[in-house]
Amino acid sequence: MTAILETDGLSISFGGLKALDNVNLSVRPGEILSVIGPNGAGKTTLFNLISGVYKPRSGKVLLEGQDVTGQSPDKLAGRGLTRTFQNLQVFQTMTALENVMVARHLHEKRNVLAHLLALPSVRRQREETRKRAMECLARVGMEHYADQTADSLPYGALKRLEIARALALVPKVLLLDEPAAGCNPRETEEIDEIISKIAAEGMAVVLVEHDMRLVMKISNHILVLNFGKKLAEGNAATIAADPHVIEAYLGLEGDEGEAGAVAE
Protein backbone atom coordinates (compact mmCIF):
# COMPACT_ATOMS: atom_id res chain seq x y z
CA MET A 1 0.00 0.00 0.00
CA THR A 2 1.24 3.54 -0.71
CA ALA A 3 1.72 6.26 1.85
CA ILE A 4 -1.31 8.39 2.73
CA LEU A 5 0.73 11.17 4.37
CA GLU A 6 4.22 12.23 3.34
CA THR A 7 6.41 15.22 4.08
CA ASP A 8 9.31 16.21 1.91
CA GLY A 9 12.08 18.44 3.28
CA LEU A 10 9.83 20.30 5.72
CA SER A 11 11.60 23.33 7.29
CA ILE A 12 10.68 26.41 9.28
CA SER A 13 12.59 28.87 11.43
CA PHE A 14 11.50 31.29 14.14
CA GLY A 15 13.61 34.39 14.52
CA GLY A 16 16.62 32.86 12.80
CA LEU A 17 16.42 29.67 14.82
CA LYS A 18 15.78 26.57 12.72
CA ALA A 19 12.90 24.89 14.52
CA LEU A 20 12.56 22.21 11.90
CA ASP A 21 15.14 21.37 9.28
CA ASN A 22 14.49 19.18 6.27
CA VAL A 23 12.21 16.57 7.82
CA ASN A 24 10.85 13.71 5.74
CA LEU A 25 8.30 11.22 6.92
CA SER A 26 5.78 8.88 5.43
CA VAL A 27 2.95 6.87 6.91
CA ARG A 28 0.54 4.34 5.39
CA PRO A 29 -3.10 3.61 6.27
CA GLY A 30 -3.33 1.43 9.37
CA GLU A 31 0.19 2.32 10.45
CA ILE A 32 1.32 4.02 13.65
CA LEU A 33 4.30 6.32 13.24
CA SER A 34 5.75 7.75 16.43
CA VAL A 35 7.80 10.93 16.50
CA ILE A 36 10.02 11.16 19.55
CA GLY A 37 12.82 13.39 20.74
CA PRO A 38 13.87 15.59 23.65
CA ASN A 39 11.87 18.71 24.56
CA GLY A 40 12.28 21.41 21.95
CA ALA A 41 13.23 18.90 19.24
CA GLY A 42 10.46 20.25 16.96
CA LYS A 43 7.81 17.56 17.37
CA THR A 44 4.89 19.89 17.95
CA THR A 45 6.20 22.25 15.31
CA LEU A 46 6.13 19.33 12.88
CA PHE A 47 2.46 18.78 13.76
CA ASN A 48 1.74 22.47 13.34
CA LEU A 49 3.23 22.39 9.85
CA ILE A 50 1.45 19.22 8.77
CA SER A 51 -1.94 20.32 10.13
CA GLY A 52 -1.71 23.76 8.50
CA VAL A 53 -1.48 25.78 11.73
CA TYR A 54 1.88 27.14 10.52
CA LYS A 55 3.07 27.47 6.96
CA PRO A 56 6.46 25.88 6.21
CA ARG A 57 9.29 28.03 4.86
CA SER A 58 10.19 25.24 2.49
CA GLY A 59 9.26 21.65 1.85
CA LYS A 60 6.03 19.88 1.01
CA VAL A 61 3.19 18.08 2.68
CA LEU A 62 1.49 15.40 0.56
CA LEU A 63 -1.88 13.94 1.49
CA GLU A 64 -3.01 10.98 -0.62
CA GLY A 65 -0.35 11.98 -3.13
CA GLN A 66 -1.63 15.53 -3.49
CA ASP A 67 0.37 18.59 -2.54
CA VAL A 68 -1.49 20.26 0.34
CA THR A 69 1.36 22.44 1.63
CA GLY A 70 0.16 25.65 3.26
CA GLN A 71 -3.53 24.77 3.11
CA SER A 72 -5.58 25.95 6.06
CA PRO A 73 -6.39 23.50 8.88
CA ASP A 74 -10.09 23.39 7.97
CA LYS A 75 -9.30 22.53 4.34
CA LEU A 76 -7.03 19.73 5.54
CA ALA A 77 -9.74 18.52 7.89
CA GLY A 78 -12.02 18.36 4.87
CA ARG A 79 -9.42 16.12 3.21
CA GLY A 80 -9.41 13.84 6.23
CA LEU A 81 -6.53 15.05 8.40
CA THR A 82 -7.01 16.19 11.98
CA ARG A 83 -5.11 16.33 15.24
CA THR A 84 -5.15 16.71 19.00
CA PHE A 85 -3.12 19.18 21.04
CA GLN A 86 -0.36 18.75 23.57
CA ASN A 87 -1.67 21.50 25.84
CA LEU A 88 -5.36 20.75 25.49
CA GLN A 89 -7.57 22.84 23.23
CA VAL A 90 -10.98 21.64 24.34
CA PHE A 91 -13.98 23.95 24.06
CA GLN A 92 -14.17 24.89 27.75
CA THR A 93 -17.70 26.27 27.87
CA MET A 94 -19.27 23.32 26.05
CA THR A 95 -20.35 19.93 27.31
CA ALA A 96 -18.30 16.90 26.34
CA LEU A 97 -21.00 15.91 23.86
CA GLU A 98 -21.07 19.36 22.28
CA ASN A 99 -17.28 19.27 21.96
CA VAL A 100 -17.59 16.14 19.87
CA MET A 101 -20.58 17.45 17.92
CA VAL A 102 -18.44 20.32 16.61
CA ALA A 103 -16.32 17.75 14.80
CA ARG A 104 -19.38 16.42 12.94
CA HIS A 105 -19.53 19.83 11.32
CA LEU A 106 -18.23 18.70 7.92
CA HIS A 107 -20.76 15.88 7.80
CA GLU A 108 -23.68 18.25 8.24
CA LYS A 109 -25.48 20.53 5.79
CA ARG A 110 -24.26 24.03 6.47
CA ASN A 111 -27.10 26.19 5.22
CA VAL A 112 -27.16 29.24 7.48
CA LEU A 113 -30.61 30.35 6.32
CA ALA A 114 -32.05 26.96 7.29
CA HIS A 115 -30.31 27.31 10.66
CA LEU A 116 -31.79 30.77 11.23
CA LEU A 117 -35.29 29.51 10.49
CA ALA A 118 -34.80 26.24 12.42
CA LEU A 119 -36.24 24.15 9.59
CA PRO A 120 -37.30 20.61 10.53
CA SER A 121 -34.44 19.17 8.47
CA VAL A 122 -31.97 20.95 10.72
CA ARG A 123 -33.53 19.38 13.80
CA ARG A 124 -33.47 15.90 12.28
CA GLN A 125 -29.85 16.32 11.39
CA ARG A 126 -29.07 17.46 14.92
CA GLU A 127 -30.39 14.18 16.27
CA GLU A 128 -28.22 12.22 13.87
CA THR A 129 -25.19 14.30 14.88
CA ARG A 130 -25.94 13.81 18.56
CA LYS A 131 -26.16 10.04 18.03
CA ARG A 132 -22.84 9.88 16.16
CA ALA A 133 -21.12 12.10 18.71
CA MET A 134 -22.37 9.84 21.49
CA GLU A 135 -20.90 6.82 19.69
CA CYS A 136 -17.52 8.54 19.53
CA LEU A 137 -17.66 9.34 23.24
CA ALA A 138 -18.48 5.70 23.89
CA ARG A 139 -15.46 4.61 21.88
CA VAL A 140 -13.17 6.33 24.37
CA GLY A 141 -15.32 5.26 27.31
CA MET A 142 -16.70 8.69 28.12
CA GLU A 143 -20.44 8.40 27.51
CA HIS A 144 -21.21 9.03 31.18
CA TYR A 145 -19.49 12.44 30.91
CA ALA A 146 -21.60 13.53 27.91
CA ASP A 147 -23.55 16.34 29.59
CA GLN A 148 -20.78 17.73 31.77
CA THR A 149 -19.10 20.92 30.72
CA ALA A 150 -15.49 20.48 29.72
CA ASP A 151 -14.13 22.79 32.40
CA SER A 152 -15.46 20.43 35.08
CA LEU A 153 -13.80 17.29 33.68
CA PRO A 154 -10.59 15.73 35.04
CA TYR A 155 -7.41 16.05 32.97
CA GLY A 156 -7.29 12.45 31.82
CA ALA A 157 -10.86 12.68 30.56
CA LEU A 158 -10.04 15.80 28.56
CA LYS A 159 -7.20 13.94 26.83
CA ARG A 160 -9.65 11.23 25.76
CA LEU A 161 -12.25 13.85 24.86
CA GLU A 162 -9.83 15.33 22.33
CA ILE A 163 -9.38 11.89 20.79
CA ALA A 164 -13.16 11.35 20.64
CA ARG A 165 -13.54 14.72 19.00
CA ALA A 166 -10.93 13.91 16.38
CA LEU A 167 -12.55 10.52 15.70
CA ALA A 168 -15.94 12.18 15.10
CA LEU A 169 -14.48 13.81 12.04
CA VAL A 170 -13.82 10.31 10.65
CA PRO A 171 -10.28 11.20 9.57
CA LYS A 172 -7.94 9.20 7.38
CA VAL A 173 -4.89 10.60 9.15
CA LEU A 174 -4.85 11.40 12.86
CA LEU A 175 -2.05 13.33 14.55
CA LEU A 176 -1.94 12.73 18.30
CA ASP A 177 0.21 15.14 20.32
CA GLU A 178 1.17 13.49 23.63
CA PRO A 179 -2.15 11.76 24.26
CA ALA A 180 -0.83 10.02 27.39
CA ALA A 181 0.96 12.99 28.97
CA GLY A 182 -0.10 13.42 32.58
CA CYS A 183 -2.12 10.21 32.56
CA ASN A 184 -1.72 7.47 35.15
CA PRO A 185 -0.65 3.94 34.02
CA ARG A 186 -4.24 2.71 33.80
CA GLU A 187 -5.32 5.66 31.68
CA THR A 188 -2.25 5.23 29.50
CA GLU A 189 -3.23 1.64 28.91
CA GLU A 190 -6.71 2.72 27.85
CA ILE A 191 -5.23 5.21 25.41
CA ASP A 192 -2.92 2.51 24.08
CA GLU A 193 -5.97 0.34 23.38
CA ILE A 194 -7.86 3.14 21.70
CA ILE A 195 -4.93 3.98 19.40
CA SER A 196 -4.27 0.38 18.47
CA LYS A 197 -7.95 -0.10 17.67
CA ILE A 198 -8.28 2.92 15.41
CA ALA A 199 -5.11 1.96 13.56
CA ALA A 200 -6.50 -1.54 13.09
CA GLU A 201 -9.52 0.06 11.42
CA GLY A 202 -7.21 1.48 8.75
CA MET A 203 -6.55 4.98 10.03
CA ALA A 204 -3.00 6.30 9.77
CA VAL A 205 -1.79 7.56 13.15
CA VAL A 206 1.14 9.88 13.79
CA LEU A 207 1.99 9.98 17.46
CA VAL A 208 4.13 12.36 19.48
CA GLU A 209 4.68 10.84 22.89
CA HIS A 210 7.14 10.87 25.77
CA ASP A 211 5.96 7.63 27.33
CA MET A 212 8.58 5.29 25.83
CA ARG A 213 6.81 2.15 27.03
CA LEU A 214 3.75 3.15 24.98
CA VAL A 215 5.79 4.23 21.96
CA MET A 216 7.88 1.05 21.85
CA LYS A 217 4.81 -1.10 22.24
CA ILE A 218 2.48 0.24 19.59
CA SER A 219 4.60 1.95 16.90
CA ASN A 220 5.20 0.36 13.52
CA HIS A 221 7.83 2.93 12.84
CA ILE A 222 9.69 5.56 14.86
CA LEU A 223 11.20 8.88 13.83
CA VAL A 224 13.62 10.55 16.25
CA LEU A 225 14.09 14.32 16.08
CA ASN A 226 16.76 16.36 17.78
CA PHE A 227 17.25 20.12 17.36
CA GLY A 228 14.76 20.09 14.49
CA LYS A 229 16.64 17.46 12.52
CA LYS A 230 16.11 13.78 11.94
CA LEU A 231 18.40 11.86 14.28
CA ALA A 232 17.30 8.33 13.53
CA GLU A 233 14.51 6.34 12.00
CA GLY A 234 13.39 2.72 12.15
CA ASN A 235 11.41 0.21 14.16
CA ALA A 236 11.42 0.00 17.93
CA ALA A 237 14.40 -2.38 18.16
CA THR A 238 16.68 -0.33 15.88
CA ILE A 239 15.82 2.92 17.65
CA ALA A 240 16.43 1.45 21.09
CA ALA A 241 19.88 0.28 20.01
CA ASP A 242 20.87 3.46 18.16
CA PRO A 243 23.83 5.10 19.92
CA HIS A 244 22.86 8.61 18.71
CA VAL A 245 19.42 8.24 20.23
CA ILE A 246 20.80 7.03 23.51
CA GLU A 247 23.21 9.93 23.61
CA ALA A 248 20.53 12.50 22.80
CA TYR A 249 18.21 11.16 25.42
CA LEU A 250 20.64 10.41 28.19
CA GLY A 251 23.54 12.70 27.50
CA LEU A 252 26.00 9.83 27.99
CA GLU A 253 27.27 7.15 25.71
CA GLY A 254 26.69 3.44 25.84
CA ASP A 255 25.15 3.11 29.29
CA GLU A 256 23.73 -0.36 28.85
CA GLY A 257 21.37 -0.29 31.79
CA GLU A 258 19.62 2.90 30.73
CA ALA A 259 19.43 1.84 27.10
CA GLY A 260 17.80 -1.36 28.25
CA ALA A 261 15.15 0.66 30.01
CA VAL A 262 14.45 2.54 26.81
CA ALA A 263 14.13 -0.66 24.83
CA GLU A 264 11.83 -2.31 27.30
Partner 1 sequence: MSVFDTVQRVVGNRLSLILIGAMLLVLPLLMTSSFQMRLAVVVWVYAMAAIGLNLLMGFAGQVSLGHAGFFGIGAYSVALGPSQLGLSPALSLPAGIAFCGLLALLLGRPILKLKGHYLAVATLGLGMLIFMILSNEVELTGGPDGMRVPRVVIMGWKVKGTETWYWITGIALLISVWLALNLINSPTGLALRAIHDSEVAASVLGVDVARYKLIVFVISACFASAAGGLLALYNGHITPGVSDFLVSVQLVTMVVLGGMGSVGGSLVGAALIIILPQFLTVMHEYEHAFLGLIMILTMVFMRSGIVPSISKAIRSRRHDSNS
Partner 2 sequence: MALSEFLQFLISGLTVGFIYGAVALGFTVIYNASHVVNFAQGEFVMLGGMFTVFGISLGLPYLVAAILAIALTALIGVLLYEFAIRPARGAPVFALIIITIGASILIRGLAQVAFGTSFFSLPSLAGDTPINIAGAVAQPQSIVVVVGTLAMVGLLALMMRRTMIGKALIAASNDLVASQLVGINVRMIVAMSFAISAVLAAVAGILITPISLVSYDIGVLLALKAFAAVMLGGMGKPAGALIGGILVGVGEAMTAGYISTDYKDAAAFVIILVVLCAFPNGLFGSEHHERV
What is the rounded distance in angstroms from the CA atom of residue 69 to the CA atom of residue 60? 5
Is residue 20 within 8 Å of residue 189, measured between CB atoms? no
The span of 79-87, 162-170, 207-215, 219-227 binding partner 2 (CB under 8 A) equals 79-87
Q: One-letter amino acid identity for 36?
A: I
The one segment of 70-78, 184-192, 224-232, 238-246 that binds partner 1 by CB under 8 A:
70-78
Across 180-193, b (16+ Cβ under 10 Å) vs e yields: bbebeeebbebbbe
Name the one range near partner 2 by CB under 8 A: 29-37, 86-94, 202-210, 231-239. Answer: 86-94
The binder of 44, among partner 2, partner 1, none, by C-beta within 5 to 8 A per type, is: partner 2
Cβ-proximal residues to 209 (8 Å cutoff; 6+ apart), any chain: 34, 36, 176, 178, 179, 180, 181, 215
Among 16, 87, 110, 186, binds partner 2 (CB under 8 A): 87
Contacts with 117 (C-beta within 8 Å, 6 or more apart), sequence order = none
Instruction: Please pick, from the candidates 9, 13, 70, 117, the single residue that binds partner 1 as defined by CB under 8 A.
Output: 117
Which positions touch partner 1 (CB under 8 A)?
51-53, 72-74, 76-78, 82-83, 85, 89-94, 98, 101-103, 105-106, 108, 110, 112, 115-118, 122, 125-126, 129, 147-148, 165-166, 169
